[in-house]
Structure 1
């Protein structure tokens, strides 16, 4: 049996991939060449204008870039910064890209920035990944900046995930406070349109950011993006209409380029699994569901069990009642029933309202307040956003092992 299994593996590994030629071109994290960046000329031009002074050794503007997931924010920020760095002749420009969903504390972020910008052979400065205090990491970062750069462009992706505003305050005031002679420009990226409005007033005053808004791609732009990835596949394996359908489905949902690419890639994978010689529209429709599941898994898969239970309570109420929204009191009843079934200690109703607000912040739920009058006070209503697939969100919300034996009927709201 072992020999047969080895032969099967050798047979698979020994054959060329029947579907993909350069599969990396449809990896979501693949950074395309400049000629493959589609539909973002205006945004590239606008960001370049804000950073133009960096080329001459001046201070670049601080910029906040808004837009939904998959609208090219990170791609454009990286591209423009790289071009600025390459075109500076007598000015030393350094760039650092930080994902704040990974480095969500100030200490983690400044440590990562310092490591990105450092060249220990030239500076003699050591920057360990951990083990130093925040102030020491800043001291070493400023030493690196003064030694190596005239201008530093620091991209903070998902900047709203930072625990507080300390990083923005320190970076935006670093030259003003005499910590470094290097001119530091911050490019903060967020999916939340109103995120910068909630920054500390001192930070807003120091940062004084220019704002750029990235709109969702339309179907034609998404189709062009996918056409630029066509050579990921072997010639002739994509049936007519596959790229158009992948783009149209993504445009209907979110105008998300990542989703469009993910749908096309998963369609190819599905064709592979089914030993098909071509990728068809049927594969695309099957892949769309998998892409949506992947998107929600990334969005809510890492939530705490308490937040997952809150979300599962809401999706179960949708499934049972067919209604669009529910008062938080009703959600709380379903939540406590579900907690009892899975053996989790329920939190207070006030805390569950906080969970609902957090899920609304993540754009998983819709939430609104309704004034019930002097006697009734304020009631919060919440429900799943209409654009989301109820079955998919419910499935992902209940991925924790503690939900394995749960029957939806067990979370029925008490009458």
Structure 2
């Protein structure tokens, strides 16, 4: 036992040295970075936070450009806050608030009315507010206060804090479904929720879920063709958690802006999953489920035959797996480990189908002996399992090898 512990410490030390060598190059070799990140990024030293910023194309590979890029992006994000989170009926002249309701009022039908925009935004904000208040209920992180609340928001009273703009009602149940745009309702797929929704902090403070609410609201405002779709909260949550827990205070205090741009870049890659008109596209959700079904057939014909005989289609269980990058199927630490490999793989969403296929094959004995109802329940509620076993199986299916941490 002692020998095993020393061996693991030695392996970890060697891996930390490898990361240090790659990340301290003046021009980071993306191929090498992907190679070492694929096997998992150590939790030490904020490595995951830094590597994800590189793998999600937020930081340039040339280190000399980091400061300029970060300043430009963070300044831009602050402008988004100033420009897009505003109260109608108010304007600013030389820093002083003035009343302009005589030109624009709540009953105005003018297309350019700020009040009309305000009311329309609040419809989207209501769903965002509900979703972020129940994110990762098994941990307390998102309910806790951030050490770096947005000064432009907490210094203002009332609706400048987004949760104040909507009348909050408790969400009794939730389904991952599509309403117009977004996730197709294949069957009722439950979303885990907290027993009680998270409460906002007093004026002057912000909980982490409030920060995520602002990120998602700004994303919806800046992407009107897609807007906000239920489930995006599950995508932004792990990214923000990694950045907001960085041991380096300079990185941590800018976690909000950095998360926004990394989330935006990731959504640019997976947006097809959330848009109904793209379901049949090459990387649309239906195409992904077809690929998964083919992989199961190729790698275990017995399991595939059983699922076919029971008419247990991938739509019944894998829709949520693929759309939300498995963020609902595993505890947050395991999700972050999975995403190390997804972000590091050049064909990261091909590897996602390998992981999903591995999950199915690892349940072979139960699937072959269960009836339809039991199998649906089993796949919709994937049992607790060592994530390293799942990833090792997926790597084998993909023709790769995965180092043991």
TM-score between both structures, scaled by the size of structure 2: 0.28
Which structure has more RCO (C-alpha within 8 Å, separation ≥ 6)? 2
TM-score between both structures, scaled by the size of structure 1: 0.28
Q: Which structure's residues are more often helix, by fraction?
A: 2
Structure index of larger Rg = 1
